[in-house]
Amino acid sequence: MSSSHNAATRQTAILSDKQLGDVTLLEPLTRLLSARDGRPCALFVRESFRPLVELMPAAVWGPDLKERPDELWATSWSSKAVLGALKTRAGRKKLLVIHANRIRWWYRLIFHEVKVEPIILFEHWAHYFWRVFGGDDAAFAPSRLNLPPGEWRHPELPHWRYCLINPTAAWPTKFWTVQAWKEFLEAGETQGITWVMTGGTSEAEREHCTAIAAAAPAGLVDLAGRTSMKQYLHALGGAEAVVCVDGSAAHLAQAMGVATLVIFGPVAPGKWHWPTPRNRSVSAFDHSRERLPPTSAVPLSAVLDEWRQLRACEGH
């Protein structure tokens, strides 16, 4: 994917219609392309994700460009994303897909190039994009975000130290049970901590968080469904640690340097979790023989064991 263009005059753009966590995993690619081009990488993503792009060190908001980018890569292959690429000005338009069966006949009428590049089994998505675009494997680092500014703070967020739970994701099948969250917050290992809860705005997410808030011990600061994108990012970035199900909170918190513990259900961690001593996970696949085990298969004891190790790593 090298180019003969003058790096000083070149700009590459990425277009994606994916969800918040997926877009966060594009950050290493923006770093790679920006270093290669000598200019920030432009991102064309959902309007509501603009605050996320503002935190990416090597990216700019695509719709604000005065000139068309030299090259536009669509990294998602839905009809919506492809039509978005059709409407976006660019010198050359290219599509990346993981399998040829994702290509519809009319896609080739829009793109100058369609590249098929399979993802390796259990390869992390951020690493996949880095590899496909020619990044040096030894130089790869997972997503990095700048910390949000203080003016993004939710007025009810504590001014003192806190840890945060985010019990929801776009797919309710990823939810851990209300009873499990209740017992986690009641456990001796989690006492003496101010806990904040964030969560999504869909009906299922609101209902789940409302039930957790009702069952939780007194003192839980419930911000679920009541944060703007900026406030959500600020709350995650300011936490001592984040405990969450597989979703955007996990990717965002880790990218901002926050210690994380992620509870995985029917999705295996390999493609979605970059493990470090400060970024740990528990997988339902380790506690169930089902082909797609529910998140409820994860026992409280396993989560508390990882929590103890995480806190010890943090010096608590």
For tokens 């996990």, name the residue: 250
Rg (CA), the chain: 20
57-108: per-residue pLDDT in tens? Answer: 999 999 999 999 999 999 999 999 999 999 999 999 999 999 999 899 999 9
pLDDT at 7 over 80: no
For residues 75 and 97, give the distance between their C-alpha atoms in angstroms, rounded to a whole number: 7
The half-sphere exposure of 54 on its side-chain side, counting CA atoms within 13 A, is 14
State the pLDDT confidence band at 8, using cuts at 50, 70 and 90.
low
276-308: per-residue pLDDT in tens? Answer: 999 999 999 999 999 999 999 999 999 999 999
156-195: per-residue pLDDT in tens? Answer: 999 999 999 999 999 999 999 999 999 999 999 999 999 9
For tokens 């399979």, name the residue: 118
The per-residue pLDDT for 162 is 99
pLDDT at 6 over 50: no
For residues 281 and 310, give the distance between their C-alpha atoms in angstroms, rounded to a whole number: 10
Which residue type occupies 285?
F
Q: How do beta strands 241-245 and 113-116 pair?
A: unpaired
Eight-state DSSP code of residue 241: E
For residues 295 and 311, give the distance between their C-alpha atoms in angstroms, rounded to a whole number: 23
Name the pTM for this structure: 0.95
Q: Is residue 10 within 8 Å of residue 37, measured between CB atoms?
A: yes
pLDDT at 240 over 60: yes
H or E segment at 204? helix 203-215
The alpha carbon of residue 173 and the mean position of all alpha carbons in its chain are separated, in whole angstroms, by: 17
Which residue type occupies 15?
L
For residues 12 and 268, give the distance between their C-alpha atoms in angstroms, rounded to a whole number: 32
**What is the mean predicted confidence (pLDDT) over 236-248?**
98
Crossing angle of the two packed helices 178-186 and 203-215, in degrees rounded to 10: 40
The per-residue pLDDT for 252 is 99
State the pLDDT confidence band at 4, using cuts at 50, 70 and 90.
very low
Crossing angle of the two packed helices 27-37 and 125-132, in degrees rounded to 10: 20
Domains defined along the chain, listed by start = 7-139 (3.40.50.2000), 153-313 (3.40.50.2000)
For residues 108 and 100, give the distance between their C-alpha atoms in angstroms, rounded to a whole number: 12
For residues 69 and 263, give the distance between their C-alpha atoms in angstroms, rounded to a whole number: 39
> Which tokens sit at 271?
């493609």
Percent of the chain with pLDDT over 70: 97
**What is the mean predicted confidence (pLDDT) over 238-248?**
98
212-235: per-residue pLDDT in tens? Answer: 999 999 999 999 999 999 999 999
For residues 67 and 232, give the distance between their C-alpha atoms in angstroms, rounded to a whole number: 32
The per-residue pLDDT for 282 is 99
State the pLDDT confidence band at 46, using cuts at 50, 70 and 90.
very high
Q: Is residue 38 within 8 Å of residue 10, measured between CB atoms?
A: yes
What 3-state class would DSSP assign to 231?
A: helix
How many residues are listed for the chain in this entry? 316
The per-residue pLDDT for 2 is 44
Angle at 256 between CA 255 and CA 262, to 5 degrees: 60
For tokens 């997410």, name the residue: 205
250-275: per-residue pLDDT in tens? Answer: 999 999 999 999 999 999 999 999 99
